[in-house]
Chains A and B, each alone.
Chain A
């Protein structure tokens, strides 16, 4: 009887909607690739494809972690670029002190886990995530400056040099790491209790709390995961050039947020997927690569990227509103 009440909106199954969005994102990347190939055949060469994936890998890996933050309803972290920088510098400094690679890596990761956990704990107590992470980022930048006096730190390690420049089956290590990160993120989100609870938290934090879900635990974990992803990027960056740089990470947070948003993850949380974030990262890398091939100036490249981001995110917003009407 009660089922005959006034229908409150369309009853489309969420699985179908998710599929539609994934197809849309993939279609966008393919269209761009086809157009690019038409105007510039070099764009479609396998070597360029690998270059694009390698470029996408760096911000893509961090974006995998950031997706968890956004999905859990905590918006974004603005500390991820500085976390990546700090991870590289910390490891370089530890190795310069004579620690072997493995030990330096472990020590660095331990510090990064603590940093993420502290941010998550502060935020779960009610602090604004944007402000908290902005502060954390400034803190890390300051610390790195103190350690290094503002100079890059050279690393002399064969293992790291391989991590930065090696290839497996002709594919750069960064790309493998990106693929692995996407697979792990997807698995954690879909197959683990923690992943489900992340979605619950983002969908409605009050309901999650009232259902006895550990809101603090999940919040701490998403910031730890994002920090670890950023550290991964930091290690790769340092390894590639055999030195840890203290600058040059300013655009990371922007690229990461752009990838998450272009992937269609709801900014208020609860809806989204790491797969689509990965497509978002690839899309941005493809766009930027293509503009590089056209030899457009960096100002124009940034402008065009910005326009695309605004158009796509606005498109998602309009689509969501129409569905909700």
Chain B
């Protein structure tokens, strides 16, 4: 592979501010022909702002941009299109009821005259081939395809716009292992065919497999691109968070008490293999696993979001009724925060106070009659515990930052006096500063005697926060490990290809 292709995109000293917030504070970026450039950084580091500048959705405040060595002003989607830049958004945006060919040409049909399915299919064929979907009937409705195939269709759509610079924003975030392989193979193939690819991802493992170089962003600033071959996982992480990993996480105060949560032989539709788990008071257990590994399904089963089909769960020795509901789990002191805050964690359109008291209507409405005084005092109590600005009690939660939203989603459970807190992806969509804060809150709650179980696809989060680590792979707990005795590499291997499953 020719790694010394000419520079197709060069950015120097790009800045972009939103009000008082400086999202980009002088970013340099370089992209060569035929290379895969990984763009890494924590949430809030400026990745999405940089992507939006390239997409033409944000105009930069200052800085030079050159395309093929010539100065070029980005600032509208039209200009980005003219520069040959195309972006595949994080959320797959194909239209299910339309066919593969129709989706590829959503932006415009590449021929004059009547639009027939046959002509469209013929034109779509080369693009389908390019993304490795050559076997696909262009006339098949996209809703019948697998998620990974939809993702590939989305990328084929970018190719149909004659883009040379492709920006893929977390293309594998929603995919399972075998699908991820398809996308990675396609990325490599496109690069070898001369496309330049900016690959944004949180899965650092992927970077080492497909990227040529890495640009890291931190706090809106870039560090010079480095060759992947010169880097290790730990060096990349340190570049991203700007400090050794350990400082992110609160110290462990290991003095676990009695067993609070116990599950034996539990199965659900998403968890066909029986699961056992014991969590003691004061303990934080971290379940590591990718989407579909069963890590989140384990929490859903305990919390009552998924129906438990066999086995039993008990809290403080009291068994749950079979196939318990969310309300029954809550009654027994279990709070469950899903990984999708906006979907079922918060009422975005309602004020902070309404969100905080929502699981605790018994407390604020004794006898069914709401007491404003009780709402106020419970709001104050929970805001205080989670360090939520009490002045914002009346503001809509949807208008707060991701970190504050997450504090509300967690804090609302404290009103029921929980014994067990289940948190899926505790810091998804939360910026760096708030992440450390949320880790601190979880640790403090554990110290106060709660049993905490969280699931995460972020290896470092699991290692840094948990007292015990349980990697999961395809619905199986691979092992129970001491976080100090397992390396990130071992954990990554456990959740992707555990040794005893090597095929």
Judged by a CB distance under 8 angstroms, whether B136 is at the interface is: no
B residues less than 8 Å from A208 (CB atoms): 347, 358
Number of chain A residues whose Cβ lies closer than 8 Å to a Cβ of chain B: 37
Segment among B16-24, B86-94, B122-130, B247-255 that sits at the interface with chain A = B16-24
- Flag if B347 contacts A14 (CB, 8 Å): no
What is the CB-to-nearest-CB distance from A189 to chain B, in angstroms, rounded to a whole number?
10
B residues less than 8 Å from A2 (CB atoms): 401, 403-404, 430-431, 433-434, 437
- Flag if A194 contacts B327 (CB, 8 Å): no
Q: Within the assembled complex, what's the spacing in Å between the Cα atoms of A5 and B45? A: 11
Judged by a CB distance under 8 angstroms, whether B412 is at the interface is: yes
Contact of A200 among B44, B326, B358, B403 (CB under 8 A): B358
Judged by a CB distance under 8 angstroms, whether A10 is at the interface is: yes
Per DSSP, chain B at the interface is mixed
- Flag if B396 contacts A14 (CB, 8 Å): yes
Per DSSP, chain A at the interface is helix
Q: Within the assembled complex, what's the spacing in Å between the Cα atoms of A193 and B354? A: 12
- Flag if B344 contacts A206 (CB, 8 Å): yes
Tell me the chain A residues, 1-54 only, with Cβ under 8 Å from chain B.
1-11, 13-15
Q: A6-B18, A206-B343 given as contacts; is B403 within 8 A of A191 (CB)?
A: no
Judged by a CB distance under 8 angstroms, whether A211 is at the interface is: yes
Contact of A193 among B23, B369, B402, B431 (CB under 8 A): B369
Q: A199-B350, A212-B327, A213-B358 given as contacts; is B399 within 8 A of A11 (CB)?
A: yes
B residues less than 8 Å from A14 (CB atoms): 350-351, 394-396
- Chain B 342-381 interface 0/1 with A at a Cβ cutoff of 8 Å (1 = within): 0111111111001000110100010011100000000000
A residues less than 8 Å from B344 (CB atoms): 204, 206-207, 209-210
Q: Within the assembled complex, what's the spacing in Å between the Cα atoms of A196 and B378? A: 16
Q: A5-B44, A14-B351, A192-B368 given as contacts; is B345 within 8 A of A210 (CB)?
A: yes
Chain A residue, CB-CB nearest to B351: A14
Judged by a CB distance under 8 angstroms, whether B331 is at the interface is: yes
- Chain B 190-224 interface 0/1 with A at a Cβ cutoff of 8 Å (1 = within): 00000000000000000000000000000000000
- Flag if B394 contacts A210 (CB, 8 Å): no
Judged by a CB distance under 8 angstroms, whether A263 is at the interface is: no
Contact of B401 among A3, A203, A206, A209 (CB under 8 A): A3
A residues less than 8 Å from B433 (CB atoms): 1-2
Contact of B346 among A9, A194, A207, A270 (CB under 8 A): A207
Contact of A8 among B359, B394, B401 (CB under 8 A): B401
A residues less than 8 Å from B280 (CB atoms): none
- Flag if A8 contacts B399 (CB, 8 Å): yes
A residues less than 8 Å from B348 (CB atoms): 203-204
Judged by a CB distance under 8 angstroms, whether A255 is at the interface is: no
Chain B residue, CB-CB nearest to A8: B399
Q: Within the assembled complex, what's the spacing in Å between the Cα atoms of A207 and B348? A: 10
Judged by a CB distance under 8 angstroms, whether B311 is at the interface is: no
B residues less than 8 Å from A210 (CB atoms): 305, 326, 336, 338, 344-345
- Chain A 263-292 interface 0/1 with B at a Cβ cutoff of 8 Å (1 = within): 000000011000000000000000000000
What is the CB-to-nearest-CB distance from B371 to chain A, in angstroms, rounded to a whole number?
9
- Flag if A13 contacts B365 (CB, 8 Å): no
Q: A5-B44, A207-B347 given as contacts; is B365 within 8 A of A212 (CB)?
A: no
- Flag if A212 contacts B326 (CB, 8 Å): yes
Judged by a CB distance under 8 angstroms, whether B400 is at the interface is: yes
- Chain A 93-111 interface 0/1 with B at a Cβ cutoff of 8 Å (1 = within): 0000000000000000000
A residues less than 8 Å from B398 (CB atoms): 8-9
Chain A residue, CB-CB nearest to B362: A193
Q: Within the assembled complex, what's the spacing in Å between the Cα atoms of A206 and B346? A: 9
What is the CB-to-nearest-CB distance from B36 to chain A, in angstroms, rounded to a whole number?
29
A residues less than 8 Å from B412 (CB atoms): 211
Judged by a CB distance under 8 angstroms, whether A214 is at the interface is: yes
Judged by a CB distance under 8 angstroms, whether A88 is at the interface is: no
Q: Within the assembled complex, what's the spacing in Å between the Cα atoms of A11 and B395? A: 6
Chain A residue, CB-CB nearest to B357: A196
A residues less than 8 Å from B404 (CB atoms): 2-3
A residues less than 8 Å from B401 (CB atoms): 2-3, 5-6, 8
B residues less than 8 Å from A11 (CB atoms): 392, 395-396, 399
Q: A15-B394, A207-B345 given as contacts; is B365 within 8 A of A192 (CB)?
A: yes
Chain A residue, CB-CB nearest to B403: A2
Q: Within the assembled complex, what's the spacing in Å between the Cα atoms of A194 and B361? A: 9
Chain B residue, CB-CB nearest to A14: B351
Chain A residue, CB-CB nearest to B359: A211
- Flag if B21 contacts A196 (CB, 8 Å): no
B residues less than 8 Å from A199 (CB atoms): 350, 354
Chain A residue, CB-CB nearest to B327: A212
Contact of B327 among A3, A6, A192, A214 (CB under 8 A): A214
- Chain B 310-329 interface 0/1 with A at a Cβ cutoff of 8 Å (1 = within): 00000000000000001101
Judged by a CB distance under 8 angstroms, whether A298 is at the interface is: no
- Flag if B361 contacts A196 (CB, 8 Å): yes
Judged by a CB distance under 8 angstroms, whether A190 is at the interface is: yes
- Chain A 177-206 interface 0/1 with B at a Cβ cutoff of 8 Å (1 = within): 000000000000011111111011001101
Judged by a CB distance under 8 angstroms, whether B238 is at the interface is: no
- Flag if B346 contacts A213 (CB, 8 Å): no
Q: Within the assembled complex, what's the spacing in Å between the Cα atoms of A196 and B361? A: 9
Q: Within the assembled complex, what's the spacing in Å between the Cα atoms of A44 and B339? A: 59
Judged by a CB distance under 8 angstroms, whether B389 is at the interface is: yes
What is the CB-to-nearest-CB distance from A245 to chain B, in angstroms, rounded to a whole number?
38
- Flag if B399 contacts A212 (CB, 8 Å): no
- Flag if A196 contacts B370 (CB, 8 Å): yes
What is the CB-to-nearest-CB distance from A317 to chain B, in angstroms, rounded to a whole number?
15
Tell me the chain B residues, 141-195 only, with Cβ under 8 Å from chain A.
none
B residues less than 8 Å from A8 (CB atoms): 398-401
Q: A2-B437, A200-B358, A204-B344 given as contacts; is B370 within 8 A of A209 (CB)?
A: no
Judged by a CB distance under 8 angstroms, whether B330 is at the interface is: yes
- Flag if A5 contacts B361 (CB, 8 Å): no
- Flag if B394 contacts A6 (CB, 8 Å): no
A residues less than 8 Å from B392 (CB atoms): 11
- Flag if B365 contacts A270 (CB, 8 Å): no
What is the CB-to-nearest-CB distance from B323 to chain A, in angstroms, rounded to a whole number?
15
Q: Within the assembled complex, what's the spacing in Å between the Cα atoms of A214 and B343? A: 18
Chain B residue, CB-CB nearest to A13: B394
- Flag if B338 contacts A271 (CB, 8 Å): no
Q: Within the assembled complex, what's the spacing in Å between the Cα atoms of A190 and B371? A: 10
- Flag if B370 contacts A195 (CB, 8 Å): yes
What is the CB-to-nearest-CB distance from A20 to chain B, in angstroms, rounded to a whole number?
15
What is the CB-to-nearest-CB distance from A66 to chain B, in angstroms, rounded to a whole number?
21
- Flag if B368 contacts A193 (CB, 8 Å): yes
Q: Within the assembled complex, what's the spacing in Å between the Cα atoms of A203 and B355? A: 10
Chain B residue, CB-CB nearest to A4: B21
What is the CB-to-nearest-CB distance from A208 to chain B, in angstroms, rounded to a whole number?
7
Q: Within the assembled complex, what's the spacing in Å between the Cα atoms of A257 and B386? A: 42
**Can you show 18 pairs from A to B with CB atoms below 8 A apart?**
A2-B430, A3-B404, A4-B20, A8-B398, A11-B392, A11-B399, A191-B370, A192-B365, A196-B370, A199-B350, A199-B354, A200-B354, A203-B348, A204-B344, A208-B347, A209-B326, A270-B347, A271-B349
Given contacts A5-B21, A203-B348, 6 further A-B contacts (CB under 8 A): A2-B434, A3-B401, A14-B395, A195-B370, A200-B350, A214-B327
B contact set with A: CB distance below 8 Å:
18-21, 23, 44, 305, 326-327, 329-331, 336, 338, 343-351, 354, 358-359, 361, 365, 368-370, 389, 392, 394-396, 398-404, 412, 430-431, 433-434, 437
Closest 3 CB pairs of A and B: A2-B434, A212-B330, A5-B401
